[in-house]
Amino acid sequence: MTVLRSVGGLGLAGALGGVLVAALAVPVVSGGGLAAKNVANTFVDLPPAPREEPLAQVTRLLDKDGRPFAQFYEANRTAVPLRAVAPVMRKAIVAIEDARFYEHGGLDIRGTFRALLTNTQAGGIKQGGSSLTQQLVKNILVESARTDAERDRARAPNLGRKITELRYALALERKYRKDEILERYLNIAYFGAGAHGVQAAARRFFSTSAAKLTLTQAATLAGAVRMPYSTDPSIGPAQRTRLRERRDLVLDRMAGLKMISQQEAASAKRSSLNLKLRPEPGGCEQSTYPFYCLYVQRELLSNPVFGNTAAERRMRMERGGLVIRTSLDPIAQQAAERAIRHHVNPEDTEVAAEAMVEPGTGRIRAMAASKRFGRNPGDRKNGPKTTFNLAADVAHGGGQGFQAGSTFKVFTLATALKQGWRFGDGFITPGALVPGQGYRNCAGRPVNDPGTRILNASGEGSGGPHSIETGTWKSVNIFYMMLERKVGLCNVVKTARALGVTRADGGPLREVPTFTLGVNEMDPVTVAAAFAAFAARGVYCRPLAIVEITGRDGHRAHVPPACKQVIERPVADAVNHVLSGVFDKGTMQGQSIGRPAAGKTGTNNGYTSAWFAGYTPHLAAAVSVGDIRGSYRFPLQGVEIGGRYYGSVQGASLPGPIWVESMGPALRRVEAEGFPGPDMARFGGGHTPGLAEAIAEEERRRQDGDRTIARRHRRIMEWLLGRGPADGELGWPRRHTGPRWPRRHEERGGPRRHEHGGPRRQEEQGGPLRQEEPGGPRQQEEHGGPLRQQEPGGPPRQEEHGGPRSRH
């Protein structure tokens, strides 16, 4: 009676084990009756082995050097062959789960009786009543279940489920060798702490591999399998205590089976658990490089190459056990992050983003942003974090982008050179321009805007002669509006499209007269890839983040660059020649990375956003800056960014320095190389009426100014030495009232004129162009279309990745 009461208090597994043993004994003792015959048929007419779906495994992202930086998983599992599991681990799991595993054929009658007796005497479960093969069957049925109902049936605590499980176990014993069954069990079992399979458990519990497990570590993991939740060491001390008890039980069992000596068991039991819990973060928010991770994730989920449906692609990413090598360069990535962090704080509403692309391959080497990736506390819209991939387009988790400004002038420049324009060719520009005629889109329709009057930005002057060099170096808006009309708006648009230019929101390019002034909203990855084509002498390559995929079977698939010669080499060389002058003669004068480089600033009049895009023969990069709340309502004027005050943000005053500070370190291991020289027979010898005289006059004025400054400096020094004239003779009022610029600006160490590295010459320093679309609202600059600006609290953002819908 006492024994029966004890049996009644046991866990269901032991009791059902006894029932199964009795059922199997029926054919022997019943005299061959009908019931005996039915039971016998149950275990003779076996079904096929259970359907085995591929086990869910971790998909890992590696940088170009093979170092992991992110992973996705539905279950943290990495399957390994049995030979990659330490022999002591194999012994430990067999000892505690199925000591006669290598002796029985799927059902261990003797072991089941022994487990029943042992558990009865102990008043609890000390040994399992199911064979290891039966446990494998249960895990297979749970893993391959496609619905909750199927999962519930696979776990149901009833005799019917146990009989089904046993029949499948016998079928598995016919299908596989013992070592194959053990391998499958070790890879499918759950060990606790989110670790599925012995390899993940070894990493999670001890920061090691399954092949390097020691006796005590193996006994610990073997003890965790039976009750993985109550022994989960990541939960707390009570669970660790139970885990140690289970470990010691395994050690005793191994000693009892003479797998180890009593002395080895006693020594191991005296040691602590010595856990080295290793976090196993999943998803991009916990990635080392979250924005790059998000780009790859979106590529995996959206590209039909990875599956015909979205559900199939997601399953492959989360369960496929893929190893994805990316083109991420940690040196370039860290250089971009440091440069942005030096100039822009995460708490600023103004945001900076940078993308770096390798010319000739399109491989994306870096993606960085000033904000950290993730959700802000309380899901606030504005804060130090964002779920937008600020460096990418909408398709890759980004936002609507910022208007690219004068960086688009490069497409007009390339078109002109292609059509036969020469260095020095140019024309007289007026002080204002009304784009009332001569502009047609690629559908052949006029897109003139006679109601708009465009003025040059401050610093570009009121008009005069300009060549394609001086017009580029000074970034003269009216010159480029006129040049675009001469070469054809549609031709400029076609050049941009050939260089991979698409809007960040995926919509069609806006083909309006101000196309050359950067009316379209762009993302840094797209702009960097377009400029990289010039560095590659006219070869455009689609941006590429994934370079190789290794499947769970070890098969490797290389992803080659997708490149095409879209601009003649001589034309690209000529563009590089002109854009190189931006650093020593133009808007970036005074800033350098110490090696040959070319680039173009971009500032939207009204200072709604600012850009710099530039390149060397080995690397191209684009930097954008704008306000995440909406670039039109929050222009970059009178702002404090990164602790520095800016009266206005121009392409050369913030994006330019970020570019310079990132490109130098990113290329520190790359030997400097110049661009091939231009074909002067084809591109030399141009002429602009009056340009030589205008340049000479400008030089004369500069020299006069230098002499005036020198005289004033000499008088100041004489005055300081006590030999000079009175205050009034030095050129300033006798009672000096203090500096012109805001005191807080100087105290914070910002650039006096909000410039870095020297006087900024021309482009992006002026008042509004007063540009407006036909019939549309009046604009702040050269934007040629409706603002479509969403304010905080407006319509929902795109998915979950963003800031205000219209910009970021």
The answer on pLDDT for 73 being more than 80 is yes
Least confident range from 360-374, 524-538, 706-720, 771-785: namely 771-785
Over residues 600-619, the pLDDT tens digits come to 999 887 899 999 999 999 99
Q: Which residue has the higher pLDDT, 453 or 665?
A: 665
Find residue 373's DSSP bridge partners. 386
The answer on pLDDT for 163 being more than 90 is no
The reported pLDDT for the residue numbered 360 is 98
Please give the C-alpha separations between residue 780 and each of 458, 478, 510, 604, 786, in angstroms, as whole numbers.
Answer: 14, 16, 17, 9, 11
**In sequence order, what DSSP letters do the residues of 14-72 get, joined into one string?**
HHHHHHHHHHHHHHHHS-S-HHHHHHHHHHHSPPPPPP-PPPPB-EEEE-TTS-EEEEE
The answer on pLDDT for 39 being more than 60 is no
pLDDT level of residue 110 (50, 70, 90 thresholds)? low
Over residues 334-368, the pLDDT tens digits come to 999 999 999 999 999 999 999 999 999 999 999 99
The reported pLDDT for the residue numbered 150 is 76
C-alpha–C-alpha distance, residues 417 and 420, integer Å: 5
Burial 205-236 (b: 16+ CB within 10 A, else e): bbebbbeebbbbbbbbbbbbbbebeebbbeee
pLDDT level of residue 752 (50, 70, 90 thresholds)? very low
Among 264, 245, 262, CA closest to 96: 245
DSSP E strand stretches across 544-597: 546-550, 556-558, 563-565
Find residue 366's DSSP bridge partners. 356
Answer for the pair 398, 523: CB distance below 8 angstroms, yes or no: yes
Average pLDDT for residues 457-485, to the nearest whole number?
Answer: 87
C-alpha distance across the termini of the chain, in Å: 75
Tokens of 608: 């709604």
Question: Percent of the chain, pLDDT > 90?
Answer: 65
**Highest mean pLDDT: which of 163-172, 373-382, 582-591?**
582-591
C-alpha–C-alpha distance, residues 274 and 263, integer Å: 20
The answer on pLDDT for 493 being more than 90 is yes
**Half-sphere exposure for 732 (CA within 13 Å, toward CB):** 12
**Backbone torsion region of residue 362, taken as left when φ is above 0, otherwise alpha when ψ lies between -120 and 50, otherwise beta:** left
The reported pLDDT for the residue numbered 722 is 66
pLDDT level of residue 796 (50, 70, 90 thresholds)? very low
The reported pLDDT for the residue numbered 104 is 87
The answer on pLDDT for 41 being more than 70 is no
Average pLDDT for residues 237-251, to the nearest whole number?
Answer: 97
Describe the crossing of helices 310-319 and 290-302 by its angle, rounded to 10 degrees. 130
